[in-house]
Structure 1
Amino acid sequence: MNWRSRSFLIWPVFAWAVFCGEAAEVHIRARHPEWANQHIEIFTIADPVVHARQVLAAADTDETGFFEVRFSLEETRQIYIEQGVYRMYFYARPGRSYRLILPPFREKSRDEWLNPYFQPSVVHLATLDEDSTGLNALIRNFDRYFQPVYEELAVQVYGRREVEGVERAIDQLEMLFPADTGFFAEYKQYRLSSLRALQYQQESRVLKQHILPDEPPDWNNPAYHDLFSQTFMRVFRKLDADGSFSPVLQEIYREKDLGLLIASLKERLSLRSHSLVEMIAVKGLYDACHDEEISASLAAHFLEELAESGSGEEIRYCALHVHERLTRLLPGSPAPRLLPADPDREEDYLNGVRGKYIYLVFASPRSYTFLRELPLIRQIASRFGENLQVLLVMAGTEGSRDDLFAGDSTGIRVVYTEYGNEMIEKYRVRAFPSYFLIDQEGKIIWAPAPSPLEHFSDKFTRLVKSAGQ
């Protein structure tokens, strides 16, 4: 079985591994009148590299703002709800029931939807089922003391000053939150270890201190995720601080030798945990590709192999998601689905684009840049209409600013959608307008494509001529 066919099977296997065995049901419910008639997804984070979501349940609130869901968990996990301006979370134990206390609902404004740097308000939800000794209260209180300490020390790191007061801060936190057992004890130790890691943040020494336990990884604990990311961020670059790792990497890349990569990481990091080293390899490949130190296609080769032969389901699942993230919009890859949600319009849509290149434009009537470039987009549609279909995906309510296209005879097709629509997410649109070019077979050519002001017409003309059309 090749890795592509596995992509349809890994998720069910992973879900079985996570949720079966000693799994027990979790029951969640909440009511807030301002949350009436909302669709809510309950999810957890499934990997420490690209933080892929693993949806556990979904529900629609009624007219009173009430919802309840049930799902199974094998181990304690951090559970998320992201809605409106909020990214809310709490910790759920298998076999428990939780009545959540929701904040007043606030939807994102149009400006917030259009802002590529928007950050949601993070809220640790309280519950009606736990007292001050409950897990959520313990973590919430600990974080309230820990976060200011971490931020103060991080300022020293990024100010390139010697980090001082780490052990004193750790001793104070240990006194405030004495020894415990179970999930909170591990959470606390991972957080305290992240303070020690700050002392070595600017040096490769962080990789030699064994701050992360050399044992099977604790992927269910978000504090472990954060410590893993902190310790092994740009791990290939850190290992090459003295220039000794670069020749090894070049041989690994030239030979496309995953075994040599794993063996080299094990030796240089002095680690025995094979699954931990494999996840370090996944993160190292992702970071190197993100920093343009290697191509996405080269990283994809190693990730395919890890998705096929990784030592654990978590590794294979993560490698698969990282591979998808890196290759989704690569030239030659299938473009994410563009068909409108209304099946009655599907055939009409297909007839309009069949056999043509597609100049895909994600835009908003509130974008000044788009309004400035719209006359040039019309010129492109008129000039290349025989070979090119201009498709505008307008983020906003259908009918708003329809005057923009009233009487338009250039052949531009317009699809209206909402901010945050799945299509926008699949194309990773972070600003309006964003441009893409898709070939006649539905494969990506340019992502992003040049805008009209970036000489799209000249570049497209050369492309068509080179293809002999």
Structure 2
Amino acid sequence: MKRKIITLFFSLLFLTASAQNVTITGRSNKTNTLMRLFAYEDLVNETGILLDQSQTDAQGHFILEGNVKQILPGRIYVGLEYVDLILSPNASYDIEILVPEQQESVSYFEKELPTLRVKRATDKNIYRQVIYSEEIINAYMTEHFNQIYRGRQLRYIDSIQNAISREVPNITSDYVKNHNRYKIAAIKLGISTDGGKKIIKDYYDGQPVLYTQSAYIDLFKELFDGYFNSAAYDSHLLNDAFGEGPISLKKYLATDPLMAKNPQLAELITIFNLQKLCYGDRSTSHLAKGHLAYIGSRTNYEEHKAIISDFFTKYERLAPGTAATDFTLKDRDGKAVSLSDFKDGLVLLQFVDGMSPVAERQFSELRDLHNQWQDSVQILTIAAHDKLDILKKQFTEKRMDWPLLDLGDQILLLEAYNVRTFPEYILIKRNNKIGEAPAPSPERYLGERVTKMFGK
């Protein structure tokens, strides 16, 4: 018994010591801010796995730790801003992240992006070699754009490869080699005249499937998007096979030699295109989801099970009829207000981040709709904490009497509702079920949509 206890003790010690094999220490200019570390095994759906979260201290310092079994693309979030990193097993990183202060007038699509500086890394130079290679490729593309894409001069591609060999010597990692290989392939695709056939033959036919290599997956998506509509298939026969079921579809898709010779790649191509069909009309979507479920239950590839599972999670998130994320926030008087307080009625969530000409116009339209709806639709405006005083003044001056809520530090609520721009709108049906996310803005038929959806 004593021997078993000792053995168990040392086993637990070993597990504890080996549980976290990636350590990131660093500093950001954002103090007392939520930090999160994600790793990406599913690049098809761009679904990250949360490895760790912490908070910057009063000086902006932080520590993030996690465990990865292979080299993976990583992402570090500072609040809702992020930078990308490549995570290697048994590596440590000392980094600095600068998040620029954004001007009020700058839109979401024009804002300045955060920057990452890796001061030290024990990852066998993998991150440095990838970044240096990218810089060389981008510099050549900028300087010789016309010669490469308009003149279709392949000699410049050879020059890129020679420059990488000269400036980034001693590349031994397959991850870095494959990154550069598929980045070069993407350039070749841009100047190809055969629709990518040679690129497929040279880089995908008979090649391993590199699920965690972003350059491979990016090119994969470009090459195989809409592959069901390619010249390899007769549209009528394909539609018949699609309607008959997964077995018939797989059999027909295998009439293409590429799909027949590469079963793993073929299944990934099938999954990728079926996912796209899920966003088609109701009948097509229903059939596509059935095909995906069938593949997910019978595939021999664990990666494909995960990709299909991730897709359904993403597809069903914020879908009409799914549960809306509940929250409790304080209004402008400090009173707690929850979404569940209004479960018996209809709710419009409005997310705002300060005032702008667009926001002012939408508030004016929304005030008219509020007067029209009376108590039939409850409006909840959720404001970024640092803009709350501005919004309070606006609400008072414009006599807007619906609740104004302080987002506070609950920034993950923006992710829960997939808020990407401001203002953003979400319609919530009775029993706190999603009605439409995102919903149209007030000047773009929001009133008509509410009338159609809720009969109000």
TM (norm. structure 2) is 0.77
SS in 2 for 1:423: helix
Residue 180 (structure 1) aligns with: 172
Residue 362 of structure 1 contacts residue 394 of structure 1 at CA under 8 Å; is this kept in 2?
Answer: yes
Q: Does 1:363 align with 2:356?
A: no
Structure 2 residue corresponding to 1:268, chosen from 256, 260, 270: 256
Q: Does 1:53 align with 2:45?
A: no
Q: Does 1:376 align with 2:362?
A: no
Residue 391 of structure 1 contacts residue 413 of structure 1 at CA under 8 Å; is this kept in 2?
Answer: yes
Residue 102 (structure 2) aligns with: 109
What is the CA–CA distance in structure 2 between the aligned matches of 1:184 and 1:455, rounded to whole Å? 49
What is the CA–CA distance in structure 2 between the aligned matches of 1:437 and 1:421, rounded to whole Å? 19
Offset at residue 306 of structure 1 (A): 4.0
Residues 7-59 of structure 1: per-residue CA shift (max 9 Å, x gap) = xxxxxxxxxxxxx9xx8742424344745433321112232223112121222
Offset at residue 155 of structure 1 (A): 6.3
Offset at residue 250 of structure 1 (A): 2.3
What is the CA–CA distance in structure 2 between the aligned matches of 1:153 and 1:228, rounded to whole Å? 25
Q: How does 1:387-398 map to 2 (within 5 A)?
A: 387-397=376-386, 398=388
Q: How big is the alpha-carbon RMSD for the aligned residues of Structure 1 and Structure 2?
A: 4.0
SS in 1 for 2:328: coil
Offset at residue 203 of structure 1 (A): 1.0
Residues 389-431 of structure 1: per-residue CA shift (max 9 Å, x gap) = 2222234433332123239887623323269933333333333
Q: In the superposition, relative to structure 1, how do residues 400 and 460 fare at CA in structure 2: closer, same or farther (>3 Å)? A: same
Residue 284 (structure 1) aligns with: 273
Q: Does 1:142 align with 2:136?
A: no
What is the CA–CA distance in structure 2 between the aligned matches of 1:340 and 1:155, rounded to whole Å? 55
Q: How does 1:97-246 map to 2 (within 5 A)?
A: 98-103=92-97, 105-109=98-102, 111=104, 114-116=107-109, 118=111, 120-121=113-114, 123=116, 125-127=118-120, 129=122, 134-150=125-141, 162=152, 164-165=154-155, 168-169=158-159, 172-173=162-163, 175-176=165-166, 177=169, 180=172, 182-200=174-192, 203-206=195-198, 208-212=200-204, 214-237=206-229, 239-240=230-231, 244-246=233-235
Q: Does 1:75 align with 2:70?
A: yes
Offset at residue 376 of structure 1 (A): 3.2
SS in 1 for 2:203: coil
Offset at residue 302 of structure 1 (A): 3.5
Offset at residue 366 of structure 1 (A): 1.4
Residue 88 (structure 1) aligns with: 83
What is the CA–CA distance in structure 2 between the aligned matches of 1:75 and 1:253, rounded to whole Å? 37
Offset at residue 322 of structure 1 (A): 2.4
Q: In the superposition, relative to structure 1, how do residues 202 and 41 fare at CA in structure 2: closer, same or farther (>3 Å)? A: farther
Residue 24 of structure 1 contacts residue 74 of structure 1 at CA under 8 Å; is this kept in 2?
Answer: no
What is the CA–CA distance in structure 2 between the aligned matches of 1:273 and 1:56, rounded to whole Å? 33
Offset at residue 74 of structure 1 (A): 1.5
Structure 2 residue corresponding to 1:430, chosen from 401, 411, 420: 420
Residues 408-460 of structure 1: per-residue CA shift (max 9 Å, x gap) = 88762332326993333333333333333332133333444444434544554
Residues 311-342 of structure 1: per-residue CA shift (max 9 Å, x gap) = 33322222222233334344x33153142257
Q: Does 1:350 align with 2:344?
A: no
Q: In the superposition, relative to structure 1, how do residues 208 and 225 fare at CA in structure 2: closer, same or farther (>3 Å)? A: closer
Residue 63 (structure 1) aligns with: 58
Q: In the superposition, relative to structure 1, how do residues 107 and 292 fare at CA in structure 2: closer, same or farther (>3 Å)? A: farther
Give % identity: 17
Residue 10 (structure 1) aligns with: none
Moved more, 165-174 or 50-59: 165-174
Residue 247 (structure 2) aligns with: 259
What is the CA–CA distance in structure 1 between the aligned matches of 2:196 and 2:413, rounded to whole Å? 41
Q: Which amino acid aligns with 2:95?
A: I
Residue 30 of structure 1 contacts residue 101 of structure 1 at CA under 8 Å; is this kept in 2?
Answer: yes
Residue 38 of structure 1 contacts residue 61 of structure 1 at CA under 8 Å; is this kept in 2?
Answer: yes
Q: Which amino acid aligns with 2:223?
A: T
Q: In the superposition, relative to structure 1, how do residues 152 and 73 fare at CA in structure 2: closer, same or farther (>3 Å)? A: same
What is the CA–CA distance in structure 2 between the aligned matches of 1:266 and 1:119, rounded to whole Å? 47
Q: Which amino acid aligns with 1:320?
A: S
What is the CA–CA distance in structure 1 between the aligned matches of 2:139 and 2:195, rounded to whole Å? 23
Q: In the superposition, relative to structure 1, how do residues 326 and 167 fare at CA in structure 2: closer, same or farther (>3 Å)? A: same
Q: Which amino acid aligns with 1:145?
A: I
Residue 32 of structure 2 contacts residue 57 of structure 2 at CA under 8 Å; is this kept in 1?
Answer: yes
SS in 2 for 1:125: strand
Q: In the superposition, relative to structure 1, how do residues 222 and 204 fare at CA in structure 2: closer, same or farther (>3 Å)? A: closer
What is the CA–CA distance in structure 2 between the aligned matches of 1:245 and 1:207, rounded to whole Å? 23
Residues 244-276 of structure 1: per-residue CA shift (max 9 Å, x gap) = 442244224434x33344444444261444333
| More contact order relative to length (CA 8 Å, sep ≥ 6) | 1
Residue 384 of structure 2 contacts residue 407 of structure 2 at CA under 8 Å; is this kept in 1?
Answer: yes
What is the CA–CA distance in structure 2 between the aligned matches of 1:309 and 1:119, rounded to whole Å? 45
How many residue pairs were aligned? 434
What is the CA–CA distance in structure 1 between the aligned matches of 2:144 and 2:204, rounded to whole Å? 19
What is the CA–CA distance in structure 1 between the aligned matches of 2:86 and 2:444, rounded to whole Å? 48
Residue 24 of structure 1 contacts residue 73 of structure 1 at CA under 8 Å; is this kept in 2?
Answer: no
SS in 2 for 1:217: coil
Q: In the superposition, relative to structure 1, how do residues 415 and 298 fare at CA in structure 2: closer, same or farther (>3 Å)? A: farther
Q: Which amino acid aligns with 1:279?
A: L
What is the CA–CA distance in structure 2 between the aligned matches of 1:85 and 1:354, rounded to whole Å? 28
SS in 2 for 1:401: helix
Gaps of 5+ in 1: 1-19
SS in 1 for 2:50: strand
